[in-house]
Chains A and B, each alone.
Chain A
Amino acid sequence: MKVTVKILRYNPEKDKRPRYHTYHVEAEPTDRVLDVLEKIKGYQDGSLSFRRSCAHGICGSDAMRINGMNRLACKTLIKDLHTDKIVIEPLLGLPLIKDLIVDMKPFFENYQRVMPYLVNNEPAPLRERLQSPEERERYDDTTKCILCAACTTSCPSFWSNGQYVGPAAIVNAHRFIFDSRDRAAGERLRILSDQFGVYRCHTIFNCTLACPREIQITKAIGEVKRAIATGSLD
């Protein structure tokens, strides 16, 4: 099938502001949007710039706006868009560098603010620390995060103030807060209860819709809010 691809392009060395360019590409309905981008780069304009690596939804490189939704280009098939007209734009809320590439530094800085690592200073046993399957299940959903930023850059609260840690950071805090082996839940909850923490979330659910890993993000944020409110992790 023939698809029409409109891409918002920007070269800081040449352009004053981003402009749309339209490309016509022959594609299979089962092609990924990433395949279409590769075809344009390979055969029409090698200067088209975007990030990509694993091409099957695990590395998190190629989050972008596709027909208005934040998605991974490698996890979106043409047929699933139900149209032969595709509009591709960079993520919102992060500084634009070039074409579909945005500056990820602010995103990773927010992530680092929530202590995204296990804290447990008790002497480790010779073998593994025990954790029941139920305890492991408690935080399973939030271990799936690939830090693609699709959620955070779909969040109107983040758009309005980039100091908001954003859904991805809260997801990664949740992953440790509810891990039975961790001992720093209190500190993380303190960080997330400040003015740039969880209360900037107004349960809009954009993040949940955007997540390519189908993490129940709004629910996870709700659980963190409840833990702050009740002082309990149960």
Chain B
Amino acid sequence: MNIHQYDVVIVGAGGAGLMAALQASKTAVTAVISKLYPTRSHTGTAQGGVGAALGNLEEDHPEWHTYDTVKGSDYLGDQDAIEFMCNEAVPAVYELEHMGLPFSRTPDGRIAQRPFGGHTNNVTGKPVRRSCYAADRTGHMILQTLYQQCIKNNVNFFDEFQVLDLLVVNGVAQGVVAIELATSEIHVFHANAVVFATGGFGRIWKITSNAYSNTGDGVAIALRRGIPLEDMEFFQFHPTGIYKLGILITEGVRGEGGILVNDKGERFMEHYAPRVKDLASRDVVSRAMYLEIREGRGINGKDYLYLDVRPETVNKYAALDGRTFPDGRPYQVSGEELLAKLPDIIDFCRTYLGVDPIEQPMPVQPTAHYAMGGIPTNIYGQVLMDEKNNILPGFYAAGEAACVSVHGANRLGTNSLLDLLVFGKHAGLHAAQYARDTQFQTLPKDAADFARQQLDRLQNCDKGTEKLSDITEEMKVTMMDHVGVFRTEEGMNMALNKIRELKQRYWNLKLDDCGKVFNTDLLNAWEIGNLLDLAEVTAASALARKESRGAHAREDFPKRDDKNWLKHTLAWLKDGEIRLRYKPVVITKYQPKERVY
């Protein structure tokens, strides 16, 4: 067995992990463990931008960003954390620019900004240009820029190492266990501080924008180590995924003036969000799309709608809305300008659909996209163990794996990149300082046993009968049908029973690969085990919450119920059972009120 010792170990090399690594490595001996080469991480697929009230094109303020985020969260976000994030947004974006991030530019050379759903001028209620972007490749540029800076600063990477377990000794985090993909050797990383930046778990659902690797590894490991998961019932469905494939079409398309239309050619969002229409929050738009489809107004009666960004359509509706450029001229776009602003989207549609968005509308449907819930933390990334906010010393989480909670029941577009920058940074800083001031504990001899047992139990399954692909498919279909955009008690009960059945069958898997070199068969199986655990927690948390709020929409409880449910869910896994408890939401300046767009 290989044993390594570091002050700080960071797991995951997407935006949050790399940001944490850059900060921590300045003052502490730091290692980054990632199951992918860092530039393969899912941050790279983010498109439309990062939110910050720079005010480069029109008046804007961090206070407006704060209010919009609180409202977007359907008042479930913790307002102290949201205010902190929105204030930090402005220096965070400048810091990225100074690192070399190639933002798109305004004519006077400043960072370009575009409108995005739910981001408004708080005085007029109209959309505000707050999303700082690099064409439709903002995530790619962030990931590349942070990786480049890590190379410049000689950060230690363990690429293609899969984390399997968190080590807790005498009540403090003391490192992780990982497997080296190329050899199947087990490594113990002994560390005084551990940062989980392992991303989300959108692969639970059938239609998803998420990468194959988004299997919630860190979140599932934390759950198995007795840490509760917060607000898991809130999972965002992005309104515009490419039909059947789920590939994301950025909200920036609507920011640039694109609109959603139904089979009758109607701009249906006018009926659901009269003020901001197609730029309402994602939960609102996704629900509207489901309702349109249910009423038979999907395209050709099927389960998709059109996203139309043809210049003639954009210009027609921009004129109707009275939309203008910052200098007051009426808003007009050409096909060429759209191509410059949305090159990758246009490429995706041409490649996967044979559709050119400049000339034809794009078939879209809501796609599972982002976990608002996750490992509970405070604004320093410290992981919280209970409803009294006691911490697990030395354990940190950041990015989509974490729940601070700044997104509450529904995240605004552009706030995920912001979240990973701000909280990745602060987790890295805090972890480094804590680790330097802390003595190592002696690791027990059997430190790697729990990890090894999990793999051995799966690998012994060559006598089993179940196929991994069947179990995966059944989970994804069940969750899509019953724990998706709309939910009912009956459906969720069914889903919960199904997931529990799949968890039983999972331990009777038949794997084909018994080797040690890149055994992706075994590791995929382990990842699906993580998804099954997280699917169960998601369904159980959702079943218990008898109200509709943000992304959690119950047909049997269609109203938000602040009296009983203005609180965060915490879910523990104890002896194979899920236990739920609750903690209050932090409310500072903004009292909950009805949410209309």
A residues contacting B by CB (< 8 A) are: 11-14, 30, 32, 41-43, 45-47, 49-61, 75, 77, 97-99, 101, 104, 108, 112, 115-120, 124, 126-133, 135-136, 139-140, 143-147, 176, 179, 181-182
Q: Looking at the complex, which one of A45, A75, A140 makes contact with B351 (CB distance below 8 Å)?
A: A75
Q: Are A108 and B37 in contact (CB under 8 A)?
A: yes
Given contacts A42-B467, A146-B140, A147-B39, 20 further A-B contacts (CB under 8 A): A52-B212, A53-B212, A54-B44, A54-B45, A56-B45, A58-B44, A59-B39, A61-B37, A98-B518, A108-B37, A112-B151, A117-B152, A120-B98, A126-B94, A128-B111, A135-B105, A143-B134, A144-B140, A145-B144, A176-B100
Q: Are A116 and B151 in contact (CB under 8 A)?
A: yes
Closest partner residue, chain A, to B134 (CB atom): A143
Q: How far is the CB of A15 from chain B (nearest CB, A)?
A: 11
Residues of A within 8 A of B109 (CB): 130-133, 135
Q: Are B212 and A101 in contact (CB under 8 A)?
A: no
Q: Looking at the complex, which one of A30, A53, A118, A135 makes contact with B40 (CB distance below 8 Å)?
A: A53
What are the 8 tightest A-B residue pairs by CB atom distance, in nearest-first order? A118-B100, A42-B469, A46-B512, A130-B109, A47-B513, A117-B148, A117-B152, A46-B521
Residues of A within 8 A of B469 (CB): 41-43
Q: Looking at the complex, which one of B102, B351, B516 makes contact with A139 (CB distance below 8 Å)?
A: B102
Known contacts A118-B99, A179-B102; is A97 also within 8 Å of B42 by CB?
A: no
Give the interface SS of chain A, mostly helix, strand, loop or mixed: loop
Q: How far is the CB of A176 from chain B (nearest CB, A)?
A: 7
Size of the chain B interface, CB-CB below 8 angstroms: 59
Chain B window 143-157, contacts with chain A (Cβ cutoff 8 Å), 1 for yes, 0 for no: 011001101100000
Question: In the complex, which of the residues A53, A55, A61, A146 has the most CB atoms of chain B within 10 Å of its own CB atom?
Answer: A53
Residues of B within 8 A of A136 (CB): 102-105
Residues of A within 8 A of B94 (CB): 124, 126-128
Residues of B within 8 A of A130 (CB): 108-110
Q: How far is the CB of A46 from chain B (nearest CB, A)?
A: 3
Q: Are A143 and B467 in contact (CB under 8 A)?
A: no
A-B contact pairs, 19 of them (CB 8 A): A11-B517, A30-B352, A47-B515, A49-B519, A50-B520, A54-B45, A54-B212, A56-B45, A56-B245, A56-B247, A56-B352, A117-B149, A119-B152, A128-B97, A131-B105, A132-B109, A133-B104, A136-B103, A146-B44
Bound-complex Cα distance A14 to B467 (A): 24
Residues of B within 8 A of A101 (CB): 518
Q: Are B518 and A58 in contact (CB under 8 A)?
A: no
Q: Are A53 and B42 in contact (CB under 8 A)?
A: yes
Bound-complex Cα distance A130 to B352 (A): 37
Residues of A within 8 A of B289 (CB): none
Q: Are B44 and A11 in contact (CB under 8 A)?
A: no
Q: Please report which residues of chain B, range 131-166, place their CB below 8 angstroms from some CB of chain A when the two chains form the complex.
A: 134, 137, 140-141, 144-145, 148-149, 151-152
Q: Are A49 and B98 in contact (CB under 8 A)?
A: no
Bound-complex Cα distance A11 to B104 (A): 46
Residues of B within 8 A of A43 (CB): 467, 469
Q: Are B468 and A182 in contact (CB under 8 A)?
A: no
Q: Are A132 and B513 in contact (CB under 8 A)?
A: no
Closest partner residue, chain B, to A30 (CB atom): B352
Bound-complex Cα distance A117 to B517 (A): 33
Residues of A within 8 A of B351 (CB): 57, 75, 77
Q: Please report which residues of chain B, range 258-275, place their CB below 8 angstroms from some CB of chain A when the two chains form the complex.
A: none
Residues of B within 8 A of A108 (CB): 37
B318 within 8 A of A: no
B36 within 8 A of A: yes
Q: Please report which residues of chain B, range 55-113, place their CB below 8 angstroms from some CB of chain A when the two chains form the complex.
A: 93-94, 97-100, 102-111
B172 within 8 A of A: no
